[in-house]
Amino acid sequence: MAEERNGLTDYGRFAASLGIVWFGIQAPGQRIAYIALPFILVLLMAPSRSGLSGWARRLLWPFLTWSVVFGILHTALALKGNDPPFGWWNPDMLLMGTWDHLWILPFALLAAIVAPWLQHPIVSLGAAWAAALLIVVKGTPEAMPYHQWSFGIIPILVGIAYFAWGWRLALVALLGSWLILHLGHPAPDNTTILVGSGLALACLTWRLPASALSERCSRISVWIYLAHPLVVFIGQSLRISWVELGLFSMVGSVILAQLIDTAAHAPRRGNLQL
């Protein structure tokens, strides 16, 4: 219901999706825009009322659909360059999809599957701190998608802690994990995880009235995240670069997301009233 929504998280999702677009084009301010990723990961752990089937519709279906979309793009580019049509394929894509940004979906689905076993307060804290300690001891893997997973594991666990026990436990999990990383594995990503996850907790804790606008912002944020590489690809094909590419990509991604959202919510022909 509309009154159950938090307008602040709706607007936060929209801003974070634009941050992902900016981060992806390597423009100035890329490090600041990167805080959008842990922000999104925390919010992805919001529980589904439909259980595992709801998680599959929310995460697995978009992963498969957009993997096909970007797989077609890869194939078209291969044919244009007279390369083997499926030479771009590698087995890692089973876990990360056919474009780099899709890794977040199967990763979040795996986290959702194990989340019920991580919801005891001690287990929630222990899992987040143990993940940070493992990164300190073992380092960050270079192989994809495990490199991305090592970045995303703490925001995911902070999200699980929040939706199980609220902001206090989640904040303790976040600060403890950050301290372990800061002392044992200093890296810029540590601050990114801290700030992005902290902003997500703030948006979840504080509330704004939901509205039709906030709900629409939340919906199109999903399409912006999923579809934005298509707009970036068009911009690069037009030889747009640097800040101009960022602006083109953000505006174009919003327009494309609006078009997709309108098509997705268009009334079916059989439901039209004469």
Q: Answer whether 200's CB lies under 8 Å from 43's CB.
A: yes
Which residues, in sequence order, are CB contacts of 209 under 8 Å at separation 6+?
Answer: 7
Kindly report the pTM of this predicted structure: 0.93
CA distance 64 to 51: 19
Residue pLDDT tens, the chain, 274 long: 334 789 999 999 999 999 999 998 888 899 999 999 999 999 999 988 887 888 888 999 999 999 999 999 999 999 999 999 999 999 999 999 999 999 999 999 999 999 999 989 999 999 999 999 999 999 988 888 999 999 999 999 999 999 999 999 999 999 999 999 999 999 999 999 999 999 999 999 999 999 999 999 999 999 999 999 999 999 999 999 889 999 999 999 999 999 999 998 765 444 433 3
Q: What does the DSSP 8-state code read for residue 59? A: I
Q: Answer whether 118's CB lies under 8 Å from 89's CB.
A: no
Q: What does the DSSP 8-state code read for residue 58? A: I
Distance of CA 34 to the CA centre of its chain: 11
Tokens read off for 2:
């509309």
